[in-house]
Chains A and B, each alone.
Chain A
Amino acid sequence: MRRSANAAHLGVAHPEPMAQRLPLIASPSPQAGFPSPAADYVEETLDLNELMVRNPPATFFVRVRGESMVDAKVFEGDVLSVDRSIDPRPGHIVVASYSGDLYVKRLSRLAGGRLALVSENAALRDEYPILYLDQAEDCTLWGVVTGSVRRF
């Protein structure tokens, strides 16, 4: 994900940031000696970025601390991809800044139409109170969680 720091003087606009990939080999190339039987099948290497990141300039990664979302399969230490270009809607798992802290929670519309950030851990329900958006001094929906990476 490291990108060139200096994008100065691009001249012509780049519609897409350039991802580092190996070349696409779709047709057999001229060769000497014994032809590789696999050459015709080499198409593309798999890139995890492609799976995780739809919109690179708007995608950030965060790391999960705590157990508040284990019922949503979000565990301590997981790396989440967060896409800021998606408009957050109720039902989305979001990252939000709430009174100065960053949280990962389910954005939910509760009874009476109130929007809230809700934890998902049935076993420890009391430890993670509901955060009502209309009660925060300062709440910003930071981005929508689009994926999770966990290493074992």
Chain B
Amino acid sequence: MDKITPSSIDTDGLVTRSRPGPQTRFALVDVNNFYCSCEAVFDPRLAGKPLVVLSNNDGCVVARSAEAKAMGIKMGQPWHQVPRELKAQGLQALSSNYTLYADMSHRVMTILGGMAPRQEVYSIDECFLDFSGMGLITTSLRDHGLLIRNRIQQWTGLTVCVGVGSTKTRAKLANHIAKKNPQWAGSFDLESRSSDEQQHWLSSLDVGEVWGVGGRLTAQLKAMGIHTVQDLKDANPKRIRSHFSVVLERTVNELNGISCLDLEELSPKKQQILSSRSFGKQVTSEADLREAVLTYLARAAEKLRAQGSIAGMLQVGIRTNPFKPDTPQYHKALSCKLAEATDDTLVLGQYAVRMLRQLYREGFVYQKASIMLSDLSPRTERQITLFEDTAGREKRERLNATLDTINRRYGSRTLQTAGAGIHKTWSMKRGNLSAAYTTDWRSLPTVQ
């Protein structure tokens, strides 16, 4: 089982990209209860306990440990609606610690990257691996999945499940089977089973388990007599296409082992950058709003520079809380075409402040502000204007680059414009945030 080591796999970027064929093998690897598990790695008291992680502002449940799921806590459930008895029974809640989750995700993805020729990071806790061409190796892909699981478990303390299939859709189903059926110990290769057995597994799964088949589609399919994954697999692709879409036809093909979805290549650059948050407390004054807008703007501009783009369009929006209909409501956004596309935090900030002045109305309780940068183009294709102050521009670019470097090194918002405010009384509620165990020297776990 230890035959495969990262070094025995060609991880060179020049691996030949064979078209999907009979040898195509994908794996979907995902981390079980990712956010909750990250917390338990550094606070062992949380292991095996009912735990939820809450969304921004500690509003809703966004992650649940196995024990919290067993208590019947639902995904997205507002925390204040969770019955008091459950809290008395030991249910704990933590604020989202995205700094920690991002670092742990990066570790998991780095390890997985060393265990397959190609990798597509699908989300913070899910990853597709392309095992194509690994058929020659003397171990089974299920065993390789177990090796992956053991290694992630030992190196990071997190538990993953691995599902292997000839298409991404089948790999996703195999992952589901691995997760729900303990006899596979978290790793299942659908293709290694006999066709009878495959049929057994696919018939036992509800059609709603298929990747991309949502609630409404599930209902429509069931009305047509398609209840299980096997039913959908057996459906006539042309009929599915005429009733639904070419996308679902492709899914039927994928279920039948015809790979239509390849690993995504490098993600296209974002066409717009949005930065918006709800406030942690009531914001009424223009001064507080300005701080929030400039803070979100700084973040958006940082992302813009990180992807090497400049923005030609800026939108600023503010709004009151639509879920409090008994309070006076106001929401408005303004868009503005910039005289010159830019990635300069200070220039964008001047526009934003001017727009906010027009947007702001006294007498409302604001709940959210948003910034959107759009009309993006590569920085290298910037139009040079006739009366450009080249020296001044270069100085500005250096200033922005320094801003980014310092904030990357010492934590975001170490350095910011004064307008973004120091105390930030409006910032998010994160009442029960765990430490940045892996990214801040002051927050390391202590050992005695």
Does A85 lie within 8 Å of B109, measured CB to CB?
no
Nearest A residue to B442 by beta-carbon distance? A63
The answer to whether B447 and A9 have CB atoms under 8 Å apart is no
> A10 at interface (Cβ–Cβ under 8 A)?
yes
* A62/B265 contact (C-beta < 8 A), A13-B117, A57-B110, A101-B44 known: no
Inside 8 A of B99's CB, which chain A residues have their CB? Answer: 5
Q: Chain B nearest CB: distance from A74 CB in Å?
A: 9
In whole angstroms, what is the CA distance A103 to B447 when docked? 5
| CB closest residue in chain B, given A8 | B121
B6 touches A (CB below 8 Å): yes
Residues in B whose Cβ lies below 8 Å from that of A107: none
A118 at the binding interface (Cβ < 8 Å): no
B81-108 at interface with A (beta carbon < 8 Å): 98-99, 102-103, 105-108
Q: Looking at the complex, which of B52-60, B151-159, B358-366 is the stretch in contact with chain A?
A: B151-159
A5 to B408, CA, bound (A): 11
Cβ contact within 8 Å between B444 and A63:
yes
A42 within 8 A of B: no
CA distance A12 to B118 in the complex (A): 5
A4 and B106 contact, Cβ closer than 8 Å, known pairs A15-B11, A60-B438, A80-B447: yes
| Binary flags per residue of A31-46, CB closer than 8 Å to B gives 1, else 0 | 0000000000000000
A2–B446 CB distance below 8 A: no
B interface footprint on A8-32 (CB within 8 Å = 1, 0 otherwise): 1111111111000000000000000
Tally of chain B residues near chain A (CB < 8 A): 49
A13 to B119 Cα, complex, angstroms: 5
- The residue that A58 contacts in the complex, of B11, B107, B120, B409, with Cβ under 8 A, is B107
Residue of A nearest to B107 (CB): A57
Inter-subunit contact B114/A138 (CB<8 Å): no
B116 engages A97 (CB within 8 Å)? no
Contact of B45 with A100 in the complex, beta carbons under 8 Å: yes
A51 at the interface (CB under 8 A from B): no
Q: Is A64 an interface residue (CB 8 A)?
A: yes
Within 8 A of B (CB), among A118-133: none
Q: How far is it, in angstroms, between the C-alpha of A39 and the C-alpha of B374 when the chains are bound?
A: 46
A8 to chain B, nearest CB (A): 5
Question: A114: CB under 8 A from chain B?
Answer: no
Which of these, A10, A15, A100, contacts B121 with CB under 8 Å? A10
Nearest residue (CB) in B for A96 is B447
- Specify which of A8, A11, A57, A62 is in contact with B445 (CB 8 Å cutoff): A62
CB within 8 Å of B: which A43-91 residues: 55-58, 60-66, 68, 79-80, 84-85
Say whether, besides A11-B265, A13-B118, A15-B6, A68 and B109 are in contact (CB < 8 Å). Answer: no
Chain A residues near B (Cβ < 8 Å): 1-17, 55-58, 60-66, 68, 79-80, 84-85, 95, 97, 100-104, 138, 140, 142
Which 10 pairs across A and B sit closest by C-beta, in order of nearness?
A97-B44, A5-B102, A58-B155, A13-B113, A9-B267, A57-B107, A100-B45, A104-B447, A57-B110, A15-B11
| 22 A-B pairs (CB sep. < 8 Å) | A7-B106, A7-B121, A9-B265, A9-B266, A10-B113, A11-B120, A12-B118, A13-B117, A13-B119, A14-B113, A16-B114, A57-B108, A57-B111, A58-B154, A58-B156, A61-B441, A62-B445, A62-B446, A79-B441, A79-B444, A95-B447, A104-B448
Known A-B contacts: A58-B107, A102-B448. Give 16 more (CB < 8 A).
A2-B408, A5-B105, A8-B121, A8-B267, A11-B264, A13-B116, A15-B6, A55-B155, A60-B437, A64-B447, A65-B446, A80-B447, A84-B154, A85-B151, A85-B154, A102-B446
